[in-house]
Structures are given as C-alpha cells and as structure tokens.
Structure 1
Amino acid sequence: MTKTGRNSMAEAMTVLVTVAMWIAGAFGVIGIPVLSLGLIASLSNGEASLPGIEALADGVSPGSFVIALGLLCVIVPGVIFICVQMRRILLTLVEGDPFVPENAGRLSRIGVAIAAMEIIRIATLLVVRAMPSLVGDAPPKLSTQLILWISVAALFILSQVFREGTRLRDEEKMTI
C-alpha cells in the first residue's frame, strides 16, 4: 500500500486526545487528595485539621465522598488508558496505515475499559447504598445508560471489522 500525505485531522485529534489525557491526570492529582481530605473531615464530625490545612465538610455524608473518591480512582486511570489507546490508533492514521492488526485489539481494549468503568461505577453505588450509615437520608440513585452499552458493542463490532479488514488486506498482498 502506498503511503498518502499526512492526515492533519488525525494530527489535530491526537493533540486533543493528549490534552484530554493530561486533564484527566490533573483531575486525579488534585481530586484524589481533596476528596480524601473531605472524607476524613466528614468522618470526623465535619472538621479535619492537618498541618497547614483545615477541611470542613458539614452536612456532606461520608458516602458522597466515598462514591466520588471511588469513581475518581476508577475513571481517571480509565480515561488515561482509553486516551493512550486512541492516541496509538490515531498515530497509525497519521502515518497513513490505520488497518494494522494492533488497532483491532486497541478498539477491543477501549470497549472493555468503558464496560469495566461502568460496572465498577454501578458496584460502587450498590456498596454505598448498602451502607445506610454512609449515605444518610439520600441514597445515591442507581442508573445505567443504554447508549454507553451500545457504544461498547459498537467498539467490539469495529474491532472485528478492523481485524477482518486487516486479514483481507494481508491476503491481498500475498496474491500475485
């Protein structure tokens, strides 16, 4: 296959995915310590003091902090992982050859990551709902989104399309 000119749209998308990856990392670096301190304050009757830091969490249930902290600990690494996989796919597109066998696996891994993050989110909510002492009078609402599961299915379908397209292209290369 002959290489074509560089794909400027793919290059721009690579930059956007990289920025999203760094933003997710920043949320983790900032959010995890802040939410941890809030959880400590919430468990300590609404106040916590550490050297140079004072946290007030009056009226916020520990369950809210547990949910937010748990989800942040899952979502941040998940988003970073997905962004890394997307960057690798986009780099093959920038190079002019996106139909490589590795991209099928990358699409599958993105689908698994999204599904795992949703399952962990639901499990976190179920665990917190099962502990009335953590959530107080307002248990978190349990929900899932059909579009998310359709997207996961679409990623697995695209993965198979990439896998088959790569196989057919490789067979064509060997045909004289």
Structure 2
Amino acid sequence: MTIRQQNSMAAFLSLLMLAIIWLAVIAGVIAFLLLAIGLLGSLNGGVMEAPGMQAYVEGVTPGHFVAGLASLAVFAPGIIYVCLQLRRILSTLAAGDPFVPENGPRLTRIALAIGLVELARYLTVILLNALVDLGTEQPVRLSINLAAWAAVVALFILAQVFREGSRLREEEKMTI
C-alpha cells in the first residue's frame, strides 16, 4: 500500500482558484451595477440621479450598455463554473490522489462549459447585431476563438486520459 503525500503546490493553487472565484463574483457584481446604472442613465437622457449620487453618461448609446450586460451574462457564469470545477480537481491533487473517477467527468464538464460559452457568445453577437442599436454603422464582429475550441478538444482528450487512468488504477487495486 502506498502512502499519499499532500501536494502543497496543488493546495496553493486551490486556494488561488478560490480567490479567483471570489474576485470574479465581486467584479461581476460591480460590473453589473455599473452597467445597469449606465444603462439607466443613458435611457434617461444621459443623467442618472439617485440619493447621494449622480451619474452622467454622454455619448454612449443604451446599446453599448446592453452589449456589456449581455457579455457579462455570458462570460461570468462560465468563468465561475470552470474555476469551481478546477478547484475540485485541485483538491484531489492536493490530497495526493488526482486519478479519482470524478475528475474525468469534471474535465468533460469544463470542456462543455467552455464550448457552451463560445456558442453563447456567437448567439449574443448575432442577437446584438439583429436587435440592438449600437449607434454605429459597423456591426459587432463575430470571431471564432480557435484557442478556446482547441482547449475544448484538449480537455475532452484529458478527460478520457483521466477516465482510463482511473479505470486502470481500480483494476490494479483488484489484483493481488
């Protein structure tokens, strides 16, 4: 029987991932509030007044704030979800046992999340161009992020490697 050692680097990365999750949540809430205030100010003729505050929004169309809110709605949940899954994987690595059966599906879920965020980004760009007036003649450009799609493929491959590693490990435990 082997003795598992704690992986201090993985524990540190898990803690770092937790900090990133909280920073993403806080930044997302702040960005949402600022964009919402900007949108209200833009819809109100360029001025947003509330008790104790005034916001001036000049030269920015409501469409820009809608585009910002839509982008935030697409990216923030995806980033937080991927970070949570990575943290769970890191916790198994920190415990000294990364080839547990749960990590294969976690990598698959990360790949699916990244793919879904990319598809949602495409749909958001199409909808923004069709429904929202950005105040310019140029539409929002639809671009394909090859790095994101390469990451999706790589994560699906790594998920299979983890599944096979877990299976072989379980078979090894069964042999005497």
Normalised-by-shorter TM-score class = over 0.9
Distance in 2 between the 1:129 and 1:152 partners?
27
Number of the residue aligned with 1:59? 59
Q: After the TM superposition, which residues 10-21 of structure 1 pair with which residues of structure 2 at under 5 Å, given as runs?
A: 10-21=10-21
TM-superposed deviation, 1:43? 2.0
Distance in 2 between the 1:57 and 1:112 partners?
38
Greater displacement, 28-37 / 69-78? 69-78
Q: After the TM superposition, which residues 95-106 of structure 1 pair with which residues of structure 2 at under 5 Å, given as runs?
A: 95-106=95-106
Distance in 2 between the 1:167 and 1:53 partners?
60
Number of the residue aligned with 2:77? 77
Q: Are 1:120 and 2:155 matched, yes or no?
A: no
TM-superposed deviation, 1:108? 0.8
TM-superposed deviation, 1:153? 0.7
Specify the code of the residue in structure 1 equivalent to 2:134. V
Number of the residue aligned with 1:146? 146
The CA RMSD measured in Å over matched residues stands at: 1.5
TM-score in terms of structure 1 length: 0.92
Aligned pair count reads: 175
Number of the residue aligned with 1:25? 25
SS in 1 for 2:102: helix
| Percent of paired sites with the same residue | 49
Specify the code of the residue in structure 2 equivalent to 1:166. S
Which 4+ residue blocks in structure 1 deviate beyond 4 angstroms? Answer: none
Distance in 2 between the 1:72 and 1:170 partners?
42
TM-score in terms of structure 2 length: 0.92
Distance in 2 between the 1:69 and 1:3 partners?
50
Number of the residue aligned with 1:136? 135
Specify the code of the residue in structure 2 equivalent to 1:136. G
Contact 1:27 1:76 in 2 (8 A): no
Q: Structure 2: 5+ residue runs without aligned partners?
A: none
Q: After the TM superposition, which residues 41-52 of structure 1 pair with which residues of structure 2 at under 5 Å, given as runs?
A: 41-52=41-52
